Structure 1
Amino acid sequence: MSVLTSHDPTAPRAAGPAPGEAVPGGATDTAVLERPREDLALDRPWNVVVWNDPVNLMSYVAYVFRTHFGYSESRAHRLMLEVHERGRSVVATGTREKAELHVGAMHGYGLWATLEQAED
């Protein structure tokens, strides 16, 4: 039985170019592949958006922000006013998983909330 080594010109080769060998387009095996654009989008943070509604009192919305997020009274009040006056407010930003948990919690409190991917 004989053992073929990579130095043996008669040894079978795996498919594809040899190390350092050019491939169509001029790249070599050491070329760096670029990440697809959609992968980069997945790395961006997610916003938790609370929307104005005709049901909940402003004091209750501020209470929810203090209770759930641990915000100070002034920050919770400011976010509540933004919801009231602009119709929406980004109340938290983070990974998609955490944003989904916050949105679910807002729904549990009876608030209208969604998540959106943060801008670049």
Structure 2
Amino acid sequence: MSSPMATPELDEALSVDVASSENLPWMCIVWDDPVNLMSYVTYVFQTILGYSKRRAIELMMQVHTEGKAVVSSGERDKVEGDVKKLHTAGLWATMQQGG
């Protein structure tokens, strides 16, 4: 005698959002350096990245006190562009993928 087999029901509307290294945002990090004045770093954040004076000062102080600050994030191409602009302005900047 055979017993009835149970068949699982699938919810086809169920979607799973899995974080992978491919979909994590990129971050532009500015590092403290012994060369640039704090006023210049603030100016660069305003003119190149478009921050208000208040936000530019906050980020500059984070760089000064903590040694680094994330100043932009997003798609890889955008962040690469920000890093290049900051290098041109003489700041130490790198990029890394979030996570």
Give the letter for the 1:60 counterpart.
Y
Q: TM-score, normalised by structure 1?
A: 0.66
Equivalent-residue separation in structure 2 for 1:70 and 1:50 (angstroms): 15
Matched, 1:80 2:60: yes
- Which secondary structure state, in structure 1, belongs to the residue aligned with residue 20 of structure 2? helix
Specify the alignment match of 1:108 in structure 2.
Answer: 88
Specify the alignment match of 2:50 in structure 1.
Answer: 70
Runs of 4+ residues deviating >6 angstroms = none
Superposition CA RMSD, Å: 1.4
Equivalent-residue separation in structure 1 for 2:70 and 2:26 (angstroms): 10
Counterpart mapping for 1:1-120 below 5 A = 40-119=20-99
1:46: Cα distance to partner? 0.4
Specify the alignment match of 1:32 in structure 2.
Answer: none
Equivalent-residue separation in structure 2 for 1:91 and 1:75 (angstroms): 10
- Which secondary structure state, in structure 1, belongs to the residue aligned with residue 81 of structure 2? helix
Equivalent-residue separation in structure 2 for 1:42 and 1:68 (angstroms): 27
Q: How high is the sequence identity, in percent, across the aligned residues?
A: 50
Higher Cα Rg: structure 1 or 2?
1
- Which secondary structure state, in structure 2, belongs to the residue aligned with residue 104 of structure 1? helix
Can you give the 5+ residue segments of structure 2 that lack an aligned partner in the other structure? 1-17
Can you give the 5+ residue segments of structure 1 that lack an aligned partner in the other structure? 1-36
Q: How many residues align?
A: 82
Equivalent-residue separation in structure 1 for 2:25 and 2:46 (angstroms): 22
Give the letter for the 2:34 counterpart.
P
